[in-house]
Amino acid sequence: MIELATIVTIAIALAMDAFAVSIVSGSAYRRLHIGYALRIALFFGVFQAVMPLIGSLAGLTLKDYISAYDHWVAFGLLFGVGAKMIYESFKITEAEKRFDPTSMMTLLALSVATSIDALAVGITLSLITSSVAVAVIIIGVVTFVLSYIGVEIGKRFGHFFESKMEITGGVILIAIGAKILIEHILASSR
């Protein structure tokens, strides 16, 4: 089983998109009451848990076909998602200020958008752990907590932290991908 610390690190990295959007939500609507903050956190947490579950099911289907180079697949996916997060951290636009995070359709769209990366990471989870259920629960809970905190930070501090969190999440995912690749290469050279 993959180390608990690695799962928590992946969960934190994946939650950075939702955390950043939560900050935007809090800064756009500084008078969001606790019910809206909890709803935003719940939507993001559930979607971040469901997407890697779907991805891991796809990964289990492909596992027999890619087991010889699964470490490269894991590295490639984590690197790609991490690089995308870093790239997107530099693209904060004025359009983000005009959305209504209290609208059910907006919240649904944001939940899907922030959890697409988790779908790809779910494929990786199926390759590196036998306990996908524990991983997706941790991912969902971590995202819920960080999203709620993000709304509160947004209400107080606005956009100051947003891009820095996405960069941090991207760097963490790339580092985990590199760790998986290096460990496999070192293990196979022995």
**Which 3-state string (H, E, C) describes the chain?**
CCCHHHHHHHHHHHHHHHHHHHHHHHHHCCCCCHHHHHHHHHHHHHHHHHHHHHHHHHHHHHHHHHHHHHHHHHHHHHHHHHHHHHHHCCCCCHHHHHCCCCCHHHHHHHHHHHHHHHHHHHHHHHHHCCCHHHHHHHHHHHHHHHHHHHHHHHHHHHHHCHHHHHHHHHHHHHHHHHHHHHHHHHHHCC
pLDDT, tens digit (0-9, with 9 covering 90-100), for 78-134 = 788 778 778 877 775 544 445 566 788 888 888 887 787 788 788 878 777 778 889
Return the pLDDT at 146: 96
Return the pLDDT at 12: 93
Residues with pLDDT less than 70, the chain: 1-2, 28-32, 63, 66-67, 70, 92-101, 158-163, 165-166, 169
Return the pLDDT at 61: 78
* pTM as predicted: 0.72
- Total domains in the chain come to 1
Tell me which residue range forms the domain holding 92: 4-188
Return the pLDDT at 97: 46
